[in-house]
Amino acid sequence: MRSRSALPPGPSMPSALQMAGFWTRPLAFLERCRDRYGKRFTIRLPATPPFVMVSDPEEIKQVFTAPPDVLRPGEGARVLEPLVGRNSVLLLDEDAHMEQRKLMLPAFHGERMERLTGLMEEVTAEEVAAIPRDRPLALHPRTQELTLKIILRAVFGLDPGPRFDALCARLGEMLEFGDKPISLLPPKPESRIAQAAERVGPFARFLRIQEEVDEIIFGLIAERRAEGGDRVDILAILLEASHEDGSPMSEQEIRDELMTLLIAGHETTATTLAWAFQQLVRERAVLDRLVAEIDAGEDDAYLTATIRETLRHRPVLPNVAPRFVAKQVAVGDWTYEPGCALVANAYLVHHDAEIYPEPYAFRPERFLDSSPGTYSWIPFGGGRRRCLGASFAMLELKVVFRALLGSCELRDCGEGIEVAQRRNITVRPVRGARVVLGDRERVPVAG
């Protein structure tokens, strides 16, 4: 088929109205676009390049494997710069990205992850024990608190105390900024708008909180450099890392990567847990089989399948990091010119009936006999930009599932299914995943 240089069709409404749909009904908006325009369509939001959503696995493969000087994910992720800083591995492209990625890879090797398991289990047991029993509650705030504490202990290496509590509080306030639609439209650095935003308005408050967070983090980095010692946390690995020329990572680089790990590993895991437990109370057969496997303690095949199905059914990042088109590129039967961004859409490819029969059903059995497809199951992205912390996230999810379902009875509170609500680039349950937890005694396994 002859290549076409115009962008694929999409909604013709003004960008502000498209933003309203994108923000208030994020999944329904995507589905309506697919129903009308097909697996490839263009949306236009204020102050951003046109986003071309692609959900065909072959086109997703071409996007993920395109040369880094052609499609630039770092440039496409600039919306995160106020949170993670300009040195973040998420915002770098080409050689700079690969060098920074190599510095961080040792932190996520299997042996390192195994050494963090005990710490995760300790924090999780304390938090699960503190959750109120036998009354309806929103589970999402609890999983947010849990995953934040795991990040601060396992990544930042912080022990409980005044500094730990202060950082928890300030980071929570920073992340709440993502509840506002304006969080998707940060002003360009050093522009007149940015200079004004530093003095008044929501960005001004955000920046004041960020300064307080940075003061704590830079103090921690300096303290740990002076301390030395043998620690297992990820900060220790970053302090030992050195660039190809032998120079150590700067304090600013370490700060930005710590914030990257926080943003990428806290809210996403917390929300995945919320979606999972909100779904399980409505899937008794799945829940009973999962609890039986956890009680037996011999295998985690069904637990792994349940987590994979949760990530398919409700990918927390429905739109994988946009790739900014820097040079002309052909993807599928379209040719794209510089100036737009190509976005692999996880939610839509995960809900394609040609790939996943009955895509709206929650069936972990899909993943018992076959592994997820490289370009049809993409909750962690793909290609050379696949999430560095995927193994950390899977370990953390398994630890929390075992702790909560091993000690609690999960019950429906009768308030109905929760729709998705956007929080910055993630989607979460609108009422916070309301459930009821009761205490349970683990049933002895005969054998």
Give the model confidence (pLDDT) of 13-48 as tens digits: 999 999 999 988 999 999 999 999 999 999 999 888
Q: What percent of the chain has pLDDT over 90?
A: 60
Nearest of 240, 380, 254 to residue 307 by alpha carbon: 380
Q: How far apart (Å, rounded) are the C-alpha atoms in residues 46 and 327?
A: 23
Close Cβ partners of 144 (under 8 Å, ≥ 6 residues apart):
172, 266, 267, 270
pLDDT of residue 230: 76
Backbone angles phi, psi at 330, to 5 degrees: -100, 125
pLDDT of residue 57: 97
Identify the residue whose tokens are 């849990």.
146
pLDDT of residue 424: 79
Q: Using alpha carbons only, how large is the chain's radius of gyration in Å?
A: 22
The residue among 184 and 277 whose pLDDT is bigger is 277
Strand partners, 438: 409
Average pLDDT, the chain: 89
Question: Of 1-10, 112-121, 141-150, which range is least confident?
Answer: 1-10
H or E segment at 430? none
For 176-194, letters b (16+ CB in 10 Å) and e give ebbeebebbebbeeeeeee
Give the model confidence (pLDDT) of 126-146 as tens digits: 999 999 999 999 999 999 999
Two structure tokens written together for 390 = 């995927």
Identify the residue whose tokens are 């630890």.
399
Band the pLDDT of 443: cuts 50, 70, 90.
low
In the chain the domains, ranked by start, together with CATH numbers, are 15-439 (1.10.630.10)
Q: How far apart (Å, rounded) are the C-alpha atoms in residues 6 and 322?
A: 19
Pairing label, strands 40-43, 341-344: unpaired
Pairing label, strands 434-439, 136-138: antiparallel
Give the model confidence (pLDDT) of 339-385 as tens digits: 999 999 999 999 999 999 999 999 999 999 889 999 999 999 998 88
Band the pLDDT of 188: cuts 50, 70, 90.
low
**pTM reported for the whole predicted model:** 0.91
Two structure tokens written together for 163 = 């500094």
- Do you know the residue count of the chain? 447
Inter-CA distances, 195 with 32, 110, 180, 225, 276, Å: 38, 45, 20, 34, 42
Give the model confidence (pLDDT) of 312-349 as tens digits: 999 999 999 899 999 999 999 999 999 999 999 999 99
The residue among 74 and 432 whose pLDDT is bigger is 432
Per the CB < 8 A criterion, the answer to whether 382 and 320 are in contact is: yes
Give the model confidence (pLDDT) of 280-321 as tens digits: 999 999 999 999 999 998 889 999 999 999 999 999 999 998
Q: What percent of the chain has pLDDT over 70?
A: 92
Nearest of 390, 385, 360, 355 to residue 373 by alpha carbon: 355
Per the CB < 8 A criterion, the answer to whether 209 and 174 are in contact is: yes
Give the model confidence (pLDDT) of 219-235 as tens digits: 999 999 888 767 878 89
**Arithmetic mean of pLDDT, 202-223:** 88
Band the pLDDT of 277: cuts 50, 70, 90.
very high
Question: Of 134-148, 174-188, 409-423, which range is least confident?
Answer: 174-188
Q: How far apart (Å, rounded) are the C-alpha atoms in residues 140 and 153?
A: 20
- Backbone region of residue 401 per phi and psi (left: phi > 0; alpha: psi in -120 to 50; beta: other values): alpha
Band the pLDDT of 82: cuts 50, 70, 90.
confident
CA angle, residues 387, 388, 390, in degrees to nearest 5: 70
